[in-house]
Amino acid sequence: MLNGCASVIIPPHELAAFLENRQSNPHGWLGMHPAKIGGKSGVVARAFVRGAVKCEVVELDAAGAPRHGMTQLSSMGFYEIFFAGRAEVFRYQLRYETSWGDIHQVYNAYSFLPTLGEQDLYLFNEGNEHRIYEKLGSHVRQLGEVPGVAFAVWAPTASRVSVVGNFNAWDARFHPMRPLGASGVWELFVPGLTEGELYKFAIWDQHGHMRLKTDPYGTYFEAPPNNAAIVCRTSRYQWNDAAWITQREEQAGKIDRPMSVYEVQLGSWRRKLEDGDRPLTYRELAPALADYVVDLGFTHIEIMPVAEHPYTGSWGYQVTGYFAPTHRHGSPEDFQFFVDHMHQRGIGVILDWVPAHFPRDSFALAQFDGTHLYEHEDPRLGAHMDWGTLIFNYGRNEVRCFLVASALSWLERFHIDGLRVDAVASMLYLDYSRKAGEWIPNRYGGRENLEAITFLKQVNDLVHHYYPGALMIAEESTAFPMVSRPTKDGGLGFDYKWNMGLMHDTLEFFQKDAIHRKWMHDKLTFGMVYQYSENFISVYSHDEVVHLKSSMLGKMGAGPASEKAANLRALYGFVWLYPGKKLLFMGGEFGQWREWNHDASLDWHLLEHPEHRGVQSLVRDLNRLYVSDAVLSARDFDPSSFRWVNASDRDHSTLSFLRQDQSGGTAYLVVCNFTPVTRTGFCVGVPLRGHWREVLNTNASIYGGEGFGNYGGQTTGESTADGFAQSLVLTLPGLSTLVLKWDGVVAPPVVRVAQIKAAKKIPATKRARK
């Protein structure tokens, strides 16, 4: 007898299972349970406490909170006690003394009911628990009056699972988790824990091999090489962007909105050189980046992946923490501050999201419970040849639920305005980057990945349902049909698609010396064949300025630096006036010479030079022009807003086109000259009589150009040209894009004569021969 209670012995094989890490049903033995011992009914209480040399049960509801000493069954810290004659279990705490002299009084982790209900588990297994991130992972909770942390993880074929961390010295014997029926979910509420605890899951497969895994649903992680998850709450931040969210919701479904995107890699945009050349924190980045983006007139930023990743050199595209902003710039709350600040400055935030693949790192998703849980078992379905990574099994309900929840969590927890989905083409095709025999056809014998297509449609529809006005953007490099069309019409449901074709064609054209460009003229005009098949964003992304591809400025055809800068300005002028939303990777806006390096800051010192300041000034003015008139920004997807004036002058590498509103009362003429020869007396037809004001000239001296132009504009003459009854006679500087807007004012003829005479004063070396 001990304190009036009989001491009993747990069956030896069950005790051994605990002590040897073989127990898969801890709640069946630990905690307090009705029992019958030696013919006597009562309740038995058991505890397994690391380092305990003495343990007592404290009766909380009895007068004086009596303490009952427990019998030590193992020096490892296993205790039990039998209360004979007690009809029901009662509220209690464990009071224990450790071998290092500490005394603790805590609730027993094995005295609580599951924190997930049957409905949660049913919807998860069905693939329809859209906010499963609120149930799985780690969550600071209070069960009744008891604070603690609830842990849950999906590991359906595991033989047993424990949660380990600083709180149990990473010893998997002391916090084994319970399986919740046939759901495959393991769960445990650990009282007394709070934010900041580091943890992982110890998972044993069916062969008895243990894997130490980080939490797939973790919201915060420590740095490599340990990569432990950190208990963290993301609901505490006080947002100040209600006006922005309301405005975003009001724009739901309005894809024809102004959108000029600055693509950023947070670790290398600007660094703290005086502090060991470290990356800026989220809180340091917010005001600096917002000031810059607002000044240059961009409407959005797109952030290369910030989801947690172990290898910086992957640029964030090999994700191991699908719900966690990377620790490299601060905490999740710091990232919330970053997004909130952007919204308060009127800047939308788009995030790169990577559901196409995941790395093989042993601590993460690969063979999570000893089986190919998140990935396909067959490498012909489950392995990427190009990147050495694994492919999600989109046909598995719980995997699809995981990915959908990841997408929704970024919009819910961090108020992200849109997701740019990486490598969509690799998801759509079973034979992506594979040779014959290296892939398995779908059930119809085709090459389309039907499960991935279903998943993409689902996630797009759910994002639009839960977060009106949020954008879904596809980086998709093939001609797969209807990527940016609603699912109800048979499309994939994205709002926009990156225009990879225009990017590759224009860069191929501009990389050639001007003398060879006439044989590549179609590279500039072919894009209009498919322009209105999708809702396109014209992009010049990070992928084009790495791996020896050269920078945007470096790509420009042969010639001195000034000529390369003129080429780049002409290209930007052409693209900003061409239909489609805009995206430019950082550094391209001021003509960085070096390729992008993820471990170094952009070369901001280049802005001391006129050519680079000029490119930056041009981008600023192009953005302001673009957003200032709905003709240029709100009719990108209306074919009637665009008309070629002359697209066939390949011998001189000139192009001209119109951007007009529906009534024809507002019109912009864009004229491009992609050779270094300045052309005077250049005749171009226009649909409206009167004065056409020169609103932008990429050759202007403020942009680093030579300053040749049309002295503010030109008035139409009666000569027919390009199918129109009137025309303009222009000075067309070499390597330039001109933008003229019809303002309806007829200037006196003397002005036109003076302009023509002034144009003739241009040196002969700058003019085309007549």
Helices 332-344 and 242-250 cross at an angle (nearest 10°) of 70
Contact by Cβ (8 Å): 683, 719 = yes
> Is 422 known to be catalytic?
yes
C-alpha 378/C-alpha 369 separation (Å) is: 17
φ/ψ (deg, to 5) at 204: -100, 135
- Up-side HSE of residue 98: CA atoms within 13 Å toward CB? 10
- Up-side HSE of residue 420: CA atoms within 13 Å toward CB? 26
The gap from C-alpha 657 to its chain's centroid, in whole angstroms, comes to 35
Given the residues 56, 205, 375, 422, the one annotated as active site: 422
The side-by-side arrangement of strands in the sheet containing 713-715 is 642-646, 654-660, 667-673, 736-742, 691-697, 713-715
Q: What angle do CA 644, 647, 653 make, to 5 degrees?
A: 140
Taking CA atoms, 168 is separated from 370, 552, 652, in Å, by: 24, 54, 76
C-alpha 513/C-alpha 74 separation (Å) is: 82
The two tokens of residue 372 are: 């190919």
Type of residue at 92: Y
Residue 561 CB-density burial (10 A; 0-12 exposed, 13-18 middle, 19+ buried): middle
Given the residues 475, 495, 589, 694, the one annotated as active site: 475
Contact by Cβ (8 Å): 438, 493 = no
What are the residue ranges of helices labelled H in 649-734? none
CA dihedral for 440, 445, 447, 453, sign (positive or negative): negative
> Is 205 known to be catalytic?
no
The gap from C-alpha 423 to its chain's centroid, in whole angstroms, comes to 12
**Beta-carbon contacts of residue 102 (< 8 Å; ≥ 6 apart):** none
Beta strands in 126-184 (DSSP E): 137-143, 146-154, 160-165, 178-179
DSSP labels for 425-493?
HHHHBTTTT--TTSS---TTS-SB-HHHHHHHHHHHHHHHHHSTT-EEEE---S--TTTTS-GGGTS--
Name which of 226, 203, 190 is nearest 365 in CA terms: 203
Name which of 732, 727, 649, 738 is nearest 684 in CA terms: 727
CA dihedral for 410, 416, 418, 422, sign (positive or negative): negative
C-alpha 304/C-alpha 427 separation (Å) is: 19
C-alpha 497/C-alpha 428 separation (Å) is: 14
Residue 365 CB-density burial (10 A; 0-12 exposed, 13-18 middle, 19+ buried): buried
- How many CB atoms sit inside 10 A of residue 41's CB? 12
Residue 581's beta-bridge partner residues? 537
Taking CA atoms, 390 is separated from 366, 405, 458, in Å, by: 8, 19, 21
Catalytic center residues: 422, 475
